[in-house]
Structure 1
Amino acid sequence: MPTSGPTPPVAVGTPATAKSERLGFVRLVRTRGLRRLLAVRFATQWADGVFQAALGGAVLFNPERQADPLAVAAGLAVLLLPYSLIGPFAGALLDRWDRKRVLMGANLVRAVLIVVVAAVVFAGITGPALYLAALAVAGVSRFVNSGLSVALPHVVERRHLVEANTFAVTVGAAMTAIGGACAIGLREIVGPDDTGSAITTTVAVAGSLLAAALASRFRRGALGPDRTDPDRRTAVTVLHGLADGARATAATPSVAASFLALAAHRFSVGITTLLTLLLFRYSFIDSGPFRAGLAGIGEAVLLAAAGLGVAALIAPWMVRRWGRPRTIRVALIVATLTQLALAALLSMPAVLAAAFVLGATGQIVKLCTDAAVQSEAGDGVLGRVFALYDVVFNVGYVLAVAAAALLSPPNGYAPWLLAAAAALYVLGLLAHDQQMRRTRRT
């Protein structure tokens, strides 16, 4: 199951400092600007969940369409590639544009584009037209999510950023899952055909419009940027930034080790996601409390989201007890054993249990990677390293999905591919250990 994407770093490796600056949930949400920004985030991510589930239903679980593994892979790529193709440019442009206007304008544009996607679905159009329209929605969503992340330091004091960011990311991921569940529930009412899929897709407009209305309540300039970058060569700046980020990562073994561990997780979970979607569509049947089809996918997504929440609770404790490198290694080992068990059992309960465990272990690796970048990468290259992080996080996932689509049977029953996903975790574990040996030598 996918985990949440790259975010401003969470310092799980500095528990003493974080503890002394904790506000607690109640006092945190009483901060007016933060409360308003969180409301924008939650409306935005709810709309993301509705749209993603509606698009998934239209492509994979629509009785009027027959989806093969490559069609499923194309749908996932459409949803995720903008995070890497547009993300670095979004970061550069958000340093020049008023972020309040970005949050308002991008959400309004996204609402219009969602209506366009719904019209394409209603008309029964498949192929490039549908994917290009959905790609436009996902691309605009990237600007919104980037704007929310970089605006956070303007509504909460910096000494509370760790706590605020952890809360925003965790609950935001939960809102995405809730949005997906809403779409699945609505689809049961309006039907799974093209008309029902179009109606479900249109509902995502409500979240975008609400987010735009909430963003309009900020005063101009309240979310930054404090200064604008006069350099207009955005493309050149971004390309140089990615190269600088790669050099800085390679020169810092602890950061490189975390990147390699995270890349192994993303490759592995990409394979598992593709097979899970196919299994629920073509192989599994309803059994007791377990549901096949899109309802079963909804259960898996909710369990993966629960895993993210558990990771946010236990990752700081694990780092305090074992240190960040060992925490990553433990998470990779648990993920390896989970994938092997899934390959051996390959049943609906096993897939649901794996969704929870892989959601938790993947988020633990991600939180540790965030902390490694924050604490080990120099402040002068921090943004460029995170731009590279963004690319690694999403491109690795999409490449794995594409490879699995080419190798998987149409019904997704491929235990050997799940075993290969376990082997990727082992490779990540070995690569992480090799990089950490560089740290000890230096």
Structure 2
Amino acid sequence: MITELRQLLRLSGFRRLLTVRLVSQAADGMFQVGLASAWFFSPDAAGSAAAVAGRYALMLAPFTLVGPFAGALLDRWRRRQVLLVGNLVRALLTLAMAATVVATGPDAWGVLVLGLAALSVNRFLLAGLSAGLPNVVEGRLLLTANSITPTLGAGAAFLGGGVGFVVAWVLPAGRTADAAALACAAVVMLLGALAAGRLRRDQLGPLTPRRGDLRGDLAAVLRDLVAGARYLAARRTPGQALAVMAAHRFLYGVVFIASILIARNLLAPPGDSAAGLATFALILGLTAVGGAAAVVVTPTLSRATGPQVWIALMLLLAAASQLLLCTTPSRAVVLTGAGLLGLAAQAAKIAVDTIVQRDTRDDFRGRAFALYDVLYNAAFVGAAVLAALFVPDAGWSRPLFAALAVAYVLVAAWVWLRAAREPEQIVDSSPSRNPQLSPTLP
């Protein structure tokens, strides 16, 4: 790995693209912290469950609605220009958002619309970074590059989020602190545009941009997603894994929104947005620690149980975390529950990824993971709708967490007792379009 990393760093195109990724994702981390501070923890922002859930649904809408179609557009546009212009556009949107926060407060419609637009642009940037990588890295080094760059990007986003948190925490709570965090993110976005400008105009492709009917291409994306869904359902194990993942993300999303409300309205002094944001950051940190533990234990233990049983066991662990939260909304209980749920969520996701990769034919894997992305985010949007209706403004309710625990147990029982362990053998008469699928012998 070290040798291959050195070889990668000798490639000027890879170094420049990696720089764009690191700077852009650091800006994204700062932006998301500024957004969270303004939308969820600002004294001027409404702290009701409906308000928090609505804003959270808006944050995820671009990833659900824009994501599937990003590829069709990136095959038409120069990806280097997407990175350069995209960073410039979202910097301007973020500066406008910061000014609007100061002028009208974080709950103004202008802030919501600008935030939604900036997040939509960010979705194209992430897709463009991935799509451009094969144009600067070839052969066996591409696998290493695909392994390294998302990890380094996530680290940059974490560091950027830390800087954004410090800015929001050091300044007096209110509109000025929220706007300052967003303005700092805009400055880093401009640096991302400058970094993209160091790449040659055509260096990231596409080598032959697509022409013709854009509407037809977008319709083809929908047809491919439908074909992928039919294939996964007929194959059984990957389709069931995605369904379980969606159910898990739906329940996790309700807990996530409840955690925002608990951090803001129960575990922080009234009106102290900095304390609320710090508490929520601690909850996310413990969730990340649980996720890191899952990376260590899952590869070893899941081999002994099989991925389906492992998923069921992790769903039961998630149920236990919700039963713990039924006791009392103390800081220790909330943080412990966050760690357990982080472990359960990441461990189950690793097993789901394994099932989908192992049991999906290669020419359907792209569509499978496109559906994965849509379901992953759509489940959170659905959770926001449920949270707006049933989560109390304080965030904590014994009946709520008891119901979540029961739901986790029911999903675990279905996986343990009814989920297929081996994929169904199928015939696909037209893999590139809407397939006619039917069971057959191996």
The answer to whether TM tops 0.5 is: yes
Counterparts in 2 of 1:52 and 1:376: CA distance versus 1, 3 Å: same
Structure 1 residue 162: Cα displacement: 5.1
Matched, 1:173 2:157: no
1:43 aligned residue (23, 32, 57): 23
| C-alpha spacing 1:99/1:85, structure 2 compared with 1 (3 Å) | same
1:190 correspondence with 2:171: yes
User: Given the alignment of the two structures, is residue 30 of structure 1 paired with residue 9 of structure 2, yes or no?
Assistant: yes
Shift in Å, 1:413: 1.6
Counterpart CA distance in 2 for 1:437 and 1:315 is 18
Deviations 1:167-206 (A, max 9, x none): 4334433433333332221112222211221111111112
Q: State how far apart, in whole Å, the 2-side matches of 1:368 and 1:162 are.
A: 21
Structure showing greater relative contact order (alpha-carbon pairs closer than 8 Å, 6 or more residues apart): 1
User: CA 1:214–1:199 in structure 2 vs 1: closer, same or farther (change >3 Å)?
Assistant: same
Q: Distance in 1 between matches of 2:328 and 2:281?
A: 21
Q: In the aligned structure 2, how far is the partner of 1:28 from the partner of 1:191?
A: 47
**C-alpha separation in 2, matches of 1:158 and 1:366:** 29
Shift of residue 269 of structure 1?
A: 1.3
Q: CA deviation at 1:345?
A: 4.0
1:226 CA drift (Å): 4.6
Root-mean-square deviation (CA, aligned residues, Å) is 2.7
| Deviation, structure 1 residue 239 | 1.9
Q: In the aligned structure 2, how far is the partner of 1:174 from the partner of 1:310?
A: 17
- In structure 2, relative to structure 1, the CA distance for the partners of 1:310 and 1:47 (3 Å cut) is farther
SS in 2 for 1:234: helix
Q: CA deviation at 1:238?
A: 2.4
Find out whether 1:213 has 2:194 as its counterpart: yes
| 1:202 matched to 2:161 | no
Counterpart check, 1:435 vs 2:414: no
What is the alpha-carbon distance in structure 2 between the residues aligned to residue 95 and residue 181 of structure 1?
Answer: 34
Query: Does the alignment pair 1:406 with 2:389?
Result: yes
Which amino acid in 1 is paired with 2:179?
A: A
CA distance in 1, matches of 2:336, 2:151: 20
**Separation in structure 1 between the aligned mates of residue 145 and residue 310 of structure 2, nearest angstrom:** 23
TM-score by length of 1: 0.85
Matches within 5 A, 1:248-327: 248-285=231-268, 292-327=275-310
Q: 1:369 aligns with which of 352, 365, 374?
A: 352
Counterparts of 1:333 and 1:31, CA distance in 2: 47
**Rounded Cα–Cα distance in structure 2 between residues aligned with 1:170 and 1:424:** 32
CA 1:324/1:206 → structure 2, altered by over 3 Å: closer, same or farther?
farther
Tell me the CA shift for residue 146 of structure 1: 1.2
Per the alignment, residue 424 of structure 1 pairs with 407
Question: Which residue of 92, 111, 123 maps to 1:112?
Answer: 92
Q: Deviations over 1:204-258 (max 9, x none)?
A: 1123122222222223333333554445223312221221221122112121122
Deviations 1:139-165 (A, max 9, x none): 001001111222333444554555543
Q: Distance in 1 between matches of 2:201 and 2:355?
A: 34
Q: What is aligned with 1:224?
A: 205
Change (3 A) 1:161 1:337: farther
Equivalent position SS for 2:116: helix
| Inter-partner Cα distance in structure 2 for 1:189 and 1:83 | 31
Q: Is the 8 A contact 2:267 2:279 kept in 1?
A: no
Aligned equivalents of 2:137 and 2:288: distance in 1? 26
Instruction: State percent identity of aligned pairs.
Output: 37
Conserved? CA contact 1:91–1:146, under 8 Å: yes
8 Å CA contact 1:56, 1:75 repeated in 2? no
Query: Deviations along 1:319-374, whole A, 9 cap, x unmatched?
Result: 54544334333332322222222233432122223333333332233333333333
> Is the counterpart of residue 360 in structure 1 residue 359 in structure 2?
no
Counterpart Cα distance in 2 of 1:332 and 1:304: 15
Mapped to 2, the partners of 1:83 and 1:41 lie a distance apart of 18
Alpha-carbon distance between aligned partners in 1 of 2:100 and 2:413, rounded to the nearest angstrom: 46
The 5 Å alignment of 1:45-194 reads 45-125=25-105, 126-157=107-138, 159=140, 161=142, 163-194=144-175
Greater shift, 29-38 or 255-264, is seen at 29-38
State the shift of 1:427 in Å.
3.5
Partner of 2:104, secondary structure, is coil
- Structure 2 CA distance, aligned partners of 1:358 and 1:28? 39
Deviating more after overlay: 366-375 vs 246-255: 366-375
Deviation at 1:400, TM superposition (A): 0.8
Residue type at the aligned position of 2:163 = C
Whole-angstrom CA distance in 1 between matches of 2:226 and 2:150: 28
Q: 1:122 to 1:56 in 2, by over 3 A?
A: same
Amino acid at match of 1:243: V
What is the CA–CA distance in structure 1 between the aligned matches of 2:68 and 2:254, rounded to whole Å?
Answer: 25
Q: Which stretch has the larger CA shift, 197-206 or 339-348? A: 339-348
